Amino acid sequence: MRKLLMTTLAAAAILSACSDKSSEVVEPGINEGKIETGETTNPSMNLSDPLAARFNKFKAVTMDADTSFLSESERAVVNKLIEASQPLSEIYMLQLNAENPAIRQSIVNSDAKNKALLLQLFDLHFGPCDTLEAGAVFYGDTPCPKGGGFYPADMTKEEFESWINANPDDAESFKSGYTIIRRDGDGLVAIPYSEAYKPQVTKVARILREAADLSEEPTLKRFLRLRAKSLMSDDYFESEMAWMDLEGNIDVAIGPYEVYDDQLFGYKTAFEMFLTIKNPEESAALAKYKDYLRDMEANLPVEERYKNFDRGFESPIIAAYQIQGGGDNVPGVQTIAFNLPNDERVREAKGAKKVILNNVLGAKYDLILAPIGKRVLVPKQAALTVKKYMANNTLFHELSHSLGPGNITIDGRETSVNAELKELSSGLEEGKADVMGIYNILYMMERGELPVSEKESLFATYFSGLFRSVRFGTDAAHAKGAAIQYSYYRETGAVSWDEKQQRFKINHEVFEQAVSDLTGMFIRIQGNGDYEAAKAFLDKYAKLDAEAKIILNDLDGIPYDIRPIYPKGI
């Protein structure tokens, strides 16, 4: 443990040095805009340069939000919380690869003529691996570790599992979402996050306490103080419960949440922050849908044993504007909404909070989804894509994360979907949430909450959106889920290929039934907790055919994603 702590302190020092020295080469550091304009490309770049081409897949966008209604106290709280972004990003860089600070320093120390661009790419992806290309390395020749920085880079799955089999008392700490694994002589040891990342979590905890002192809103004050304690204790249950009760104009999700970067087992959580300002009017308009969650569960197209009525259905829905991100919420592809917390104990007690990031979603529709739709679908159907259904699809995707199996029982043993499906779980869950979201929108149309006449716009926007996801490569969780949906719709004839127009056509009379059937398939795979069946399902469907590749090759000129530039203060 002492060796790890020393290593972490050294890494933090290196990262700080990198940020200072790199300012001589490229102005921004971690979590800042790389090109502070709204231009698609950097005018100084040679676009024939492969590195420049990688960088310019992301379009810089200045993110604005109306904060005029905030009080002076609320402004002070927001500005204080913005300070947490940097240490969270330092942690996340180490979580992706423990060698990242040293790799960045080697770029700084190099004589490479494209040093500035390499540093921009490194800061864009939080490492030398391209997040759009299944971790393809753009600097050096060492592959990025599948277990990120959570495990020793040379540790295999078999070694981890053999250790637990031989040392069953270590199982809980080794599988914990709040520990990293390191070598200890000839063995392995679990190190709590609060020790592994002590310099950074101590700083974040201090910032949260200071923000709590500035806040006049009781629920926010309570949450910030509890979350500061959680960071130092690695026990997040009480503060997660408090986060569900937040009121007022400010909402901040901050801590270790998602397991996508643990591609070995899907156990380890990554630190991140979403600092948002609520839109009260839009949030109120969306709130009605949470009242349907129990009905949505009852309406799922599966046998009763797969339905989950043990979760809380009080889930708040918030429309918000993101003011700043941190950690996992910064590099690569940007999140447009989230559904947290992931702790099944909290979900059973209070449900989960769904937050739609309006400014991020709006930028992605205008710059990415709308243009993609014109190249995916035959013209008559492409004209039906609308921002309304990108927003609705996103909302119901997040609502659907709260439906279906969570904690499950297998042969009398209490377990969870994530524990049984391991590294396969994330891709299946994202695919489930996508298609179940469409299934639930159709249910809302049946209930009269949305116009049935807009069904074709729903399908056109949804299917076009699958190509926004699969552009990221089918190794990423969201892309895997999207590829499964695409392949199933092709197999069932829900979507056909127009050879003359080189575009897809949605067959509406088949599509709706395919949505229902695929929703059921996802739920049963999760509910059965059968790893081998899940793997076979992914092997069959998580891939793209020749026609999909034709479309992907025709998307040149459309950004892959955005590089949001957030204010340094309000």
Q: Does residue 215 form part of some domain? A: no
Q: Supply φ then ψ for residue 496, to 5 degrees.
A: -125, 165
Residue 282, pLDDT > 80, answer yes
Check residue 19 and give its pLDDT: 36
Who contacts 395 (Cβ-Cβ below 8 Å, separation ≥6)? 286, 289, 317, 337, 354, 356, 437
pLDDT band at 486 (very low <50, low <70, confident <90, very high): very high
CA 438/CA 443 separation, integer angstroms: 9
Average pLDDT of the residues in 66-87: 97
In the predicted structure, residue 448 carries a pLDDT above the cut 80: yes
**Measured on CA atoms in the order 123, 464, 338, 181, is the torsion positive or negative?**
negative
From residue 426, give the alpha-carbon distance in Å to each of 151, 257, 264.
Answer: 19, 13, 12
Can you give the pTM of this predicted structure?
0.83
Residue 434 lies in a domain: yes
Instruction: Write out pLDDT tens, residues 214-272.
Output: 999 999 999 999 999 999 999 999 999 999 999 999 999 999 999 999 999 999 999 99
Would you state the pLDDT for residue 133? 84
5: in domain: no
Q: Would the pLDDT of 480 be above 70? A: yes
CA-only gyration radius of the chain, Å: 23
Total domains present in the chain: 1
**207 pLDDT exceeds 80?**
yes
User: What whole-number distance in Å separates Cα of residue 26 and Cα of residue 356?
Assistant: 32
Q: Tokens standing for 71?
A: 């009080």
Tell me the pLDDT tens digit for each residue of 519-551: 999 999 999 999 999 999 999 999 999 999 999
For residue 35, give the amino acid letter: I
Is the pLDDT at 4 greater than 90? The verdict is no
Q: Which two tokens stand for residue 483?
A: 């590829």
The whole-number pLDDT of residue 192 equals: 99
Residue 10 has pLDDT above 80, yes or no: no
Adjacent-strand bridge partners of 563: 60
Tell me if 301 is assigned to some domain: no
What is the residue-averaged pLDDT of the chain?
90
Q: Which residues contact 404 (CB under 8 A, 6 or more apart)?
A: 297, 300, 306, 307, 308, 432, 436, 522, 523, 526, 527
Any domain includes 414? yes
Q: What percent of the chain has pLDDT above 70?
A: 92
Answer whether 435's CB lies under 8 Å from 393's CB: no
CB-based contact 123:34 (threshold 8 Å)? yes
The answer to whether residue 404 scores a pLDDT higher than 50 is yes
Please report the pLDDT score of residue 26 as a whole number: 31
For range 288-301, the mean pLDDT = 95
The burial class, CB within 10 Å (0-12 / 13-18 / 19+), for 279 is buried
Supply the range of the domain harboring residue 378. 358-569
CA angle 204, 206, 208 (to 5 degrees): 70
Judge whether residue 367 has pLDDT over 60.
Answer: yes
* Residues 541, 536: Cα–Cα separation, whole Å: 9
Residue 478: per-residue pLDDT: 87
How many CA atoms, within 13 angstroms, populate the side-chain half-sphere of residue 277? 21
Question: Does residue 150 lie within any of the structural domains?
Answer: no
| Cβ atoms of residues 385 and 365 within 8 Å | no
Comparing 234-238, 246-250, 472-476, 483-487, which segment has the lowest mean pLDDT? 472-476
Rounded Cα distance between 106 and 376, Å, is 42
| Amino acid occupying residue 31 | N
The pair of structure tokens assigned to 235 is 């026990």
Q: Considering the domain boundaries, does residue 563 fall inside one?
A: yes
Q: Considering the domain boundaries, does residue 181 fall inside one?
A: no
Q: What is the pLDDT of residue 475?
A: 75
Residue 77's pLDDT band (cuts 50, 70, 90) = very high
Please tell me the predicted confidence (pLDDT) of residue 397.
94
CA distance 139 to 326: 24
